[in-house]
Amino acid sequence: MARIRIELPERFTFSTDIPLLVSHINYGNHLDNAQLLGIVSEARVRFLKSMGYGELDVEGLGIIVADAALQYRSEAFHGETMRVEMGAADFHEHGCDLVWRMAEAASGREVARGKTGIVFFDYGQRRKATVPEGFGRRFVPA
């Protein structure tokens, strides 16, 4: 099977720091792979909140995670602080990818990178919806 390769943008529009707790660590004494997705989910919530949104209210619509891909670059350990950078890319009619990079904050050592595909969803009508105009406009290249 071919390895996943994730291309990242030159710069990200958002970053947040998240400390690694003992509950994030597995028996190998490093960041657990399931916990990595939880940390990325927390970063996604913070990313949306920084723009005045929530996962259930992006200009009146919710989001659904459609897919996720990640690539590990190094180990991470209890007590380290992860800096998660995030941005939006690869827009289509109903969604986009939230691309991210996670690095140890003090050294800059890259721990993982990935992308989470989101689809906008109208929970009232129980169907996917078009990307909200204001959300998409935030990420149009200048």
pLDDT at residue number 60: 97
CA–CA separation, 41 and 18 (whole Å): 11
Give the pLDDT band of residue 53 (cuts 50, 70, 90): very high
Specify the number of domains making up the chain.
1
Residue 1 domain flag: no
Residue 142 confidence (pLDDT) above 60 = no
CA–CA separation, 111 and 84 (whole Å): 10
Please report, for the domain that includes residue 17, its CATH number. Answer: 3.10.129.10
Extract the tokens encoding 75: 């180990």
Entry pTM:
0.94
Give the pLDDT band of residue 140 (cuts 50, 70, 90): confident
Residue 6 domain flag: no
For 5-30, what is the mean pLDDT?
95
CA–CA separation, 30 and 35 (whole Å): 10
Q: φ and ψ at 80, to 5 degrees? A: -75, 155
More confident residue, 1 or 95: 95
How many residues can be counted in the chain?
142
The string of pLDDT tens digits covering residues 105-125 is: 999 999 999 999 999 999 999
Extract the tokens encoding 97: 């990818």
